[in-house]
Amino acid sequence: MKKIISVFGILAFAVGLSACNTMRGIGTDIERGGEKVQGAATNVQKGNTSSGSSR
């Protein structure tokens, strides 16, 4: 059972990694995700409940 879970985990990681193509792409994706989280946190702090995008 552990072997099956490991294989699926590796496959999921490989699919996610191939979607980015390059290490730069991974960094860009992570950075954009962080910006979205930061924007949402700022909106909550300001009391703005709309889910508008900053980009």
Other CB atoms within a 10 A radius of the CB of residue 29 amount to 13
The pLDDT score that the predictor gives to residue 29 is 84
Q: What is the pLDDT along the chain (55 residues), one digit of tens a residue?
A: 888 888 889 888 887 776 656 667 778 888 999 999 999 999 888 887 665 555 5
The pLDDT score that the predictor gives to residue 35 is 92
* Crossing angle of the two packed helices 2-20 and 23-46, in degrees rounded to 10: 90
The pLDDT score that the predictor gives to residue 38 is 92
The pLDDT score that the predictor gives to residue 23 is 67
The pLDDT score that the predictor gives to residue 36 is 93
Amino acid at 27: G
The pLDDT score that the predictor gives to residue 28 is 85
